[in-house]
């Protein structure tokens, strides 16, 4: 019996490399990006967006900030821990907004690469760009404009627009005759649709503190591939 077990063990050890090789052929694997791209939504690339604008005169476009242009979860994680660890009440506190803006918390926010490509593309076209956020400005001024300008190397930049509500955001989109609005949240897409302009979704990073996750493509909007980073 012992001899049989020894022979069987030796056989398995010899067969293991071949089995592993065969398994890799049968199961080529899939990247996280490929998994994300399998959902039945209107996927587009930055190149395709650029191609759709060819032949058109310079226009005016807008970007949401948090999770669209910047991965700013570190600021919000800090704020929640300091001001309301067990709730989202910190988002309604002027002390929190004043704190992160006057103390330049956004120096720890990470610029998203998809935003860099989009901003470069629109700048090259001569388009006017606005950064429009639902943040509250706070009573101590703001450093977000300077942070975005530095992070993306923007020479001439409009000050960040603080709307503090979806209604104000829609009105700004209409008043300034924007044609495209990029955002990660469902509310961003609804604001663009309400303003009668082209909504384009940038995917939110999976480790963002902003929960629950949005439903990319739920309004039939274009969704940029590989845009979580």
DSSP state, residue 39: S
Of 17-26, 55-64, 99-108, 150-159, the poorest mean pLDDT is in: 17-26
Number of residues that this document lists for the chain: 229
Which residue out of 64, 99, 127, 151 is catalytically annotated?
A: 64
Active site residue 188: no
HSE at residue 174, side-chain half, CA atoms within 13 A, is: 11
> Rounded to the nearest 5 degrees, what angle is found at the Cα of 220, between the Cα atoms of 51 and 71?
75
CB 67 within 8 A of CB 204: yes
Query: Which of these ranges, 30-44, 48-62, 156-170, has the smallest mean pLDDT?
Result: 30-44
Find the range with the poorest average confidence among 3-12, 107-116, 183-192.
Answer: 3-12
Does the structure show a pLDDT above 60 at 140?
A: yes
User: In 3-state terms, what secondary structure has residue 130?
Assistant: strand
Catalytic annotation present for 64:
yes
pLDDT value, residue 36:
66
Residue 192 pLDDT more than 50?
A: yes
- Report pTM: 0.83
Does 179 score more than 50 pLDDT? yes
Indicate which residue of 37, 66, 89, 186 is catalytic: 66
* Cβ 100 vs Cβ 60: under 8 Å: no
Share of the chain above pLDDT 90, in %: 76
* Half-sphere exposure (Cβ direction) of 3: Cα atoms closer than 13 Å: 0
Residues 68, 53: Cα–Cα separation, whole Å: 21
Are 61 and 127 within 8 A, CB to CB? Answer: yes
As a whole number, mean pLDDT of residues 122-147 equals: 94
Predicted confidence (pLDDT) at residue 3 exceeds the cutoff of 60: no
Write down the pLDDT at residue 27: 72
């Amino acid at each position: 019996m012992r001899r049989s077990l020894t022979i069987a063990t030796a056989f398995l050890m010899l067969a293991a490399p071949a089995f592993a090789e065969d398994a890799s052929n049968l199961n080529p694997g899939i990247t996280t990006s490929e998994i994300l791209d399998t959902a039945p939504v209107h996927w587009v690339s930055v190149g395709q967006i650029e191609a759709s604008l060819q032949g058109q005169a310079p226009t005016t476009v807008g970007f949401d900030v948090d999770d669209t242009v910047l991965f700013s979860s570190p600021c919000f994680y800090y704020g929640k821990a300091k001001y309301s660890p067990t709730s989202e009440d910190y988002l309604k506190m002027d002390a929190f907004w004043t704190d992160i803006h006057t103390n330049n918390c956004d120096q720890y926010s990470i610029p998203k690469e998809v935003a860099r490509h989009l901003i470069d593309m629109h700048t090259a076209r001569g388009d006017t760009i606005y950064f429009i956020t639902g943040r509250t400005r706070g009573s101590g001024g703001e450093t977000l404009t300077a942070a975005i300008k530095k992070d993306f190397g923007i020479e001439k930049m409009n000050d960040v627009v603080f709307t503090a509500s979806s209604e104000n955001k829609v009105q700004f989109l209409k008043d300034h005759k924007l044609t495209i609005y990029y955002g990660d949240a469902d509310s961003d897409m609804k604001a663009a649709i309400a303003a009668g302009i082209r909504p384009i979704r940038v995917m939110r990073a999976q480790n963002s503190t902003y929960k629950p996750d949005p439903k990319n493509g739920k309004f039939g909007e274009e969704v940029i591939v590989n845009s979580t980073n």
